[in-house]
């Protein structure tokens, strides 16, 4: 079995680590999906305000790929469809009422093993769950017409304050196995599952990985095991969504519940809860005391989006991070020795060896500057890519050089730690995303 050791990278010692025990919270009264957040998708509505929907009934589809539809995570009525500028569909909000779901064909594990690609693909498409599958390069919703080289599943979360996937997969082993078996039909290559410890799985190639974040990012795992080449397409599915797909085949219906961590220095009660995809943020943080000014983030602190209480959990997100939004301005802060709870650095430029966990806030801790290459990016990027050169190729809009430097193997989430550690406060991840957009537009 292949074992990958990641040496470059960093596990941020952020306070507010969630207990992995699942706490029950009252279900969200409304859930929502935001069509505009899906990269490269031209959404077209299939429902109107006031329509009744069931769990699994389609809400909208992609004009470019009409058979790719998005399932409703709840049973109830469509409360609002909110449009933004230029009729962009901001969100489709559903008032939850009951738990009826659309029933489809149930597969036994033997049927699943002997099924062919068309059967499996059609079942996923007709259950409106295809958007759970994303593709590399570009990290966007996959195209069912493509034949992926391999399908990668990361069974390890290394992002700050994320759900520990080991017990989740352990407790849903049958569904996870069913999901893996189903996915293995969609590729002529392998389903590659990367986990912390060895795992008994059929119809998949299991590899193990050790090391700090971003070891758990599927992009890093692909790069370290079998890097993507131009023209190749790789699909990836979040481990929790593999379970969702497995349950679809075993039970015949969509189970939209996933485990979500509510964590961070601003969380007074860091915990793991079970929630619906697209749950209202307010419903997830009911037992957190938010009297201090805090920033709510759907997703992890490195790559998540700022949200308000009335917003909703992102489609692919499985954490709500809460960081303090109070930024103080210490006198002569640049001379601080740093042995405090607030000065945290990957570099040894502060004496912070003694502290274990740090109360991060939203301070940028410096101003934007030209890059000063002290290896801050290279030390946290476990890829055979020169981030510095790539960054400059993107700024110069040199498509050819970008490709040569490995742009296709990169994704902004893998570069989030570079932005975190950059002394010049450059948002490297955003620039990488710009580069990918340029490359995609070029064809």
Partner 1 sequence: MKWLRDILDKIAPTFKASGKLEKLYPIFEATDTILFSTGERTHSGPHIRDSVDVKRVMILVVIALIPCYIFGAMNVGYQMAVALGQTSTLQENLMNGAFKILPIIAVAFASGAFWELLFAVVRRHPVSEGFLVTCALIPLVMPPTIPLWQVAVATTFGIVIGKEIFGGVGMNIFNPALVARAFLFFTYPGRISGDKVWASGPDGYSGATALAVPAAELSQDAVTLLDSVTQFDFSWINLFMGWIPGSIGETSTLWIMVGAVFLALTGIASWRVMAGAILGLTGMAALTNFMAEITGSTNTMLTLPAHYHLVMGGFAFSVAFMATEPVTGAHTDKGRWIYGIFIGGLTVIIRSINPAYPEGAMLAILLMNAFASLIDYFVIQGNIKRRMVRYAQ
Q: Does 189 participate in binding partner 1 (rule CB under 8 A)?
A: no
Environment class of 225 (CB within 10 Å of its CB; exposed 0-12, middle 13-18, buried 19+): middle
Does residue 224 bind partner 1 (CB under 8 A)?
A: no
Helix (H, G, I), strand (E, B), or coil: what is residue 425?
A: coil
The yes or no reply on residue 17 touching partner 1 (CB under 8 A) is no
The Cα–Cα gap between 288 and 18 comes to 12
DSSP 1-58: --EEE--S-----BS-PPPSSEEP-PPPSEEEE-GGGSTT--EEES--TT-EE-BT-E
193 binds partner 1 (CB under 8 A): no
Stretch that binds partner 1, among 111-119, 236-244, 280-288, 302-310 (CB under 8 A): 302-310
- Residue 223 contacts partner 1 per CB under 8 A: no
Interface with partner 1 (CB under 8 A), residue total 73
Nearby residues of 368 by Cβ (< 8 Å), 6 or more positions away: 424, 425, 426
Closer to partner 1 by CB, 45 or 371: give it.
371
| 434 binding partner 1? (CB under 8 A) | no
Minimum separation from the CB atom of position 63 to partner 1 (A): 28
Among 4, 423, 434, 437, binds partner 1 (CB under 8 A): 423
347-406: contacts with partner 1 (CB under 8 A): 347-350, 360-367, 369-376, 378-379, 384-386, 388-389, 404-406
200 vs 243: CA distance, rounded Å: 16
- The number of beta carbons lying within 10 Å of the beta carbon of residue 276 is 23
Pick from 171, 306, 339, 397: which binds partner 1 (CB under 8 A)?
A: 306
Contact 218, 157 (CB under 8 A): no
Residue closer to partner 1 (CB basis): 181 or 342: 342
Determine contact, residues 300/162, Cβ cutoff 8 Å: yes
Nearer to partner 1, 111 or 339 (CB): 339
What is the smallest separation between the CB atom of 403 and partner 1, expressed in angstroms?
A: 9
Q: Which residue has the tokens 């602190």?
A: 301
Task: Determine, following the binding rule CB under 8 A, whether residue 164 of this chain makes contact with partner 1.
Answer: no
Written as six digits, the tokens of 137 are: 């390069």
Among 8, 343, 414, 435, binds partner 1 (CB under 8 A): 343
Cis peptide upstream of residue 214 (ω within 30 degrees of 0): yes
Give me the least distance between CB of 385 and partner 1, in Å please: 8
Burial (0-12, 13-18, 19+ Cβ within 10 Å), 173 = middle
Which listed residue (24, 26, 200, 332) binds partner 1 by CB under 8 A?
332
Comparing CB distances to partner 1, the nearer of 138 and 386 is: 386
Contact flag: residue 216 with partner 1 (CB under 8 A): no
**String of contacts with partner 1 for each residue 195-214, x by CB under 8 A:** --------------------
Distance CA 401, CA 392 (A): 10
Of residues 6, 9, 14, 182, which one binds partner 1 by CB under 8 A? 14
Nearest approach, Cβ of residue 242 and partner 1 (Å): 27
């Amino acid at each position: 079995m292949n074992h990958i050791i990641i040496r470059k990278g960093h596990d941020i010692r952020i306070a507010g680590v969630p207990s992995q025990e699942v706490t029950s919270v009252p279900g969200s009264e409304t859930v929502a999906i935001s069509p505009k957040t899906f990269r490269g998708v031209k959404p077209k509505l299939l429902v109107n305000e006031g329509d009744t929907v069931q769990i699994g009934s389609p809400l909208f589809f992609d004009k470019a790929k009409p058979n790719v539809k998005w399932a409703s995570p709840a049973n109830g009525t469509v409360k609002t469809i909110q449009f933004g500028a230029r009729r962009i569909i901001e969100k489709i909000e559903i008032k939850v009422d009951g738990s009826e779901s659309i029933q489809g064909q149930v597969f036994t594990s033997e049927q699943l093993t002997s099924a062919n690609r068309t059967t499996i693909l059609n079942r996923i498409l007709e259950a409106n769950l295809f958007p759970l599958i994303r593709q590399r390069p570009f990290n966007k919703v996959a195209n069912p017409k493509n034949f992926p080289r391999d399908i990668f599943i990361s069974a390890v979360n290394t992002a700050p304050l994320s759900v520990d996937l080991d017990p989740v997969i352990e407790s849903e082993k049958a569904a996870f196995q069913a999901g893996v078996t189903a996915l293995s039909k969609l590729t002529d290559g392998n389903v590659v599952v990367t986990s912390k410890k060895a795992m008994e799985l059929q119809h998949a190639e299991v590899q193990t990985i050790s090391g700090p974040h971003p070891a758990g990012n599927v992009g890093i795992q692909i790069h370290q095991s079998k890097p993507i080449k131009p023209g190749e397409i790789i699909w990836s599915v979040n481990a929790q969504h593999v379970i969702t797909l497995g349950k679809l085949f075993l039970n015949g219906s969509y189970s939209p519940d996933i485990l979500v961590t509510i964590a961070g220095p601003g969380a007074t009660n860091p915990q793991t809860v079970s929630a619906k995809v697209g749950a209202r943020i307010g419903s997830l943080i009911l037992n957190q005391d938010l009297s201090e000014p805090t920033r709510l983030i759907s997703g992890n602190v490195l790559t998540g989006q700022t949200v308000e209480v009335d917003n909703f959990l992102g489609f692919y997100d499985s954490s709500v991070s809460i960081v303090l939004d109070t930024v103080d301005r210490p006198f002569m802060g640049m001379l601080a020795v740093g042995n405090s709870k607030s000065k945290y650095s990957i570099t040894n430029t502060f004496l912070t060896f003694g502290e274990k966990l740090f109360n991060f806030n939203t301070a940028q801790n410096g101003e934007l500057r030209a890059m000063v290459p002290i290896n801050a990016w290279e030390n946290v990027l476990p890829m055979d890519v020169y981030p510095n050169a790539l960054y400059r190729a993107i700024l110069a809009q040199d498509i050819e050089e970008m490709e040569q430097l490995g742009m296709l193997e990169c994704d902004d989430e893998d570069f989030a730690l570079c932005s975190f550690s950059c002394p010049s406060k450059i948002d490297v991840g955003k620039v990488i995303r710009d580069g990918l957009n340029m490359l995609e537009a070029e064809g």
